[in-house]
Structure 1
């Protein structure tokens, strides 16, 4: 008598991708080289924000009171639960609208799936996860595009609106500004631990909670006169996005590392070796611009460059507006928000980011 056929077990989503979440990003050094070689294009005066400063989204002025915010973001699975993967990817994409000070109005889905490997039920769960976040943001998924791909890919084109005078670029920081971070860092470390199957259940819950929390504070922050620059911390890590802010304004940044909020448990996991390859690539891409304190541990450096998926908003504001900024974050439920440093005059050498222990 023949033995019964074993039930088909669906593969882990993370096993189908070579990198997950914003850790999939092309390394900053390589990306800079690619963009440097790209041909220039005419820039119409209505394009308020383009590619010049590596900002979070493009902004195009439509009328005296309305500008369109347009962005896209997609990546491979960072978790194995298809519904949560969809939620994380959608939250991450919509964040770029908030980071410009905009209000999301609709989205288009970008879907690439290995249809001979994943069932229609699993793919449907990914899409349902994205739809649930869009409902939370109050926007429809109005269309999209699908392809059959080797690795699972999901994300959104996210569109929003903002008053032209409230657009917050990542390049308008001023000397003396304080830097405020809205979410704790360490998502990349958690994802590495998950892939190694050493992430505790509580750590996984924290990972889902932070990566699916929409950065809804963005428009209210943009409405504050004292807020000069705004961005979100994603694939290039905290150090990378601080450097983008500093380069855009041709200034420097001083980071108080002891003030940076970390997700509970990530320091221990990083010390035990749960770090991403993207963290190392990030460091190689911009280490010449960073000054570290003597004896700065390797695990701490990995956290400094840790790629964040759906990371927090990074605000540059004048010192007198810090209380207002913190109040906005608290009102939107970002209890871990913290002042982490300040903007300083442009350095004489290449090292724009000074890290203090």
Structure 2
């Protein structure tokens, strides 16, 4: 249920970008982070996962309770501008996206806090309430309590969460543990970005994209851990190629992608054909181009493989039920990615 108005408010028209496509470009972000290093934790131990490998969240060891199992704390934050016009769906999508970083590390969300920016003199607060309600509903689905948060007056609406999770430090999913000979699986189809961009431009609603973005990565994470997988990441604003490049680089391998095996949402190819490609997607493709052997892959497929996803699936170095195998990791060659 969403607020009914004589003239519905289109949230996407109040933001310069949408969802994870509004991220700072990966190349620029890496330049900013150069020279910044992690510190030791409050318990005196170094971070298990920090900035060095470009992973989805930070992980710090916790003191093990007497006679109990070892534990690690997973910490992340994610927020962005509206990716859809419906405020309730925007809240659900943003929350699922924030929770995904914990699942991508093999963790379980334990608690979250809201991050809300709102143009209070432009958009009514009943819309903000719907955004927050959507976030609460997805967090409840994840079994993750939401304990307040932080809000600011901002020219653009933005929403997300800071999420804290728990994980077994011996069973993390991370970027730097990929090994040659391992298959690559993808748990959600691509094309979210181009469909969202079409939605922003035309107002068309794509239920298949909303369904994908509001699906938690919990089951995929649990399946990966059950299969003994140690290497995974989620596919969000840097696109499949961007996140795959980071994984292959951190693991010292090359990723070979069977482009015919990659799944796409209905309507995604048509959206690319009709020009609904975000600037973020084009910047992703530009960033990975020097590290990619594109072979004879056509231009539209290249854009879809670099499409800036919001609340995308997990990219798993291993096989898990229900996820198509889209390629494999091989010994490091001249490129970090090869398309076939």
Conserved? CA contact 1:46–1:62, under 8 Å: no
2:190 aligned with 1:185:
yes
Conserved? CA contact 2:12–2:18, under 8 Å: yes
What secondary structure sits across from 1:60 in the alignment? strand
Conserved? CA contact 1:74–1:154, under 8 Å: yes
Higher radius of gyration, 1 or 2: 1
Q: Which runs of 5+ in 2 are unaligned?
A: 65-69
Conserved? CA contact 1:83–1:128, under 8 Å: yes
**Separation of aligned partners in 2, 1:218 and 1:142:** 26
**Corresponding position of 2:20:** 22
Conserved? CA contact 2:37–2:52, under 8 Å: no
2:230 aligned with 1:246:
no
**Separation of aligned partners in 2, 1:252 and 1:219:** 23
Conserved? CA contact 1:101–1:221, under 8 Å: no
- Residue 136 to residue 41, structure 1, CA distance change in 2 (3 Å): closer
Conserved? CA contact 1:16–1:152, under 8 Å: yes
**Corresponding position of 1:303:** 304
**Separation of aligned partners in 2, 1:212 and 1:225:** 24
Cα displacement (A) at 1:81: 0.5
CA RMSD of aligned residues (A): 1.6
Conserved? CA contact 2:171–2:230, under 8 Å: no
2:54 aligned with 1:54:
yes
**Corresponding position of 1:40:** 37
**Separation of aligned partners in 1, 2:47 and 2:224:** 19
2:175 aligned with 1:206:
no
Which of 87, 99, 124 matches 1:82?
Answer: 87
**Separation of aligned partners in 2, 1:223 and 1:277:** 35
**Corresponding position of 1:152:** 157
**Corresponding position of 1:338:** 324
Question: What does the per-residue CA deviation read over 1:152-192, in whole Å, with 9 as the maximum and x for residues that have no partner?
Answer: 01000011111111111111000100001000000001011
Q: TM-score, normalised by structure 1?
A: 0.88
**Separation of aligned partners in 2, 1:68 and 1:218:** 20
Conserved? CA contact 2:110–2:145, under 8 Å: yes
Q: TM-score, normalised by structure 2?
A: 0.93
Q: How many residues align structurally?
A: 328
2:200 aligned with 1:228:
no
**Corresponding position of 1:355:** 339
**Separation of aligned partners in 2, 1:280 and 1:195:** 17
Conserved? CA contact 1:168–1:229, under 8 Å: yes
**Corresponding position of 1:101:** 106
**Separation of aligned partners in 2, 1:78 and 1:212:** 12
Conserved? CA contact 1:74–1:89, under 8 Å: yes
**Separation of aligned partners in 2, 1:119 and 1:196:** 23
**Separation of aligned partners in 1, 2:171 and 2:224:** 6
**Corresponding position of 1:167:** 172
Question: What does the per-residue CA deviation read over 1:70-118, in whole Å, with 9 as the maximum and x for residues that have no partner?
Answer: 1010000001100000000000000011111111111000000000011
Report the more deviating stretch, 147-156 or 266-275: 266-275
Q: Which runs of 5+ in 1 are unaligned?
A: 1-6, 331-336
Conserved? CA contact 2:39–2:47, under 8 Å: no
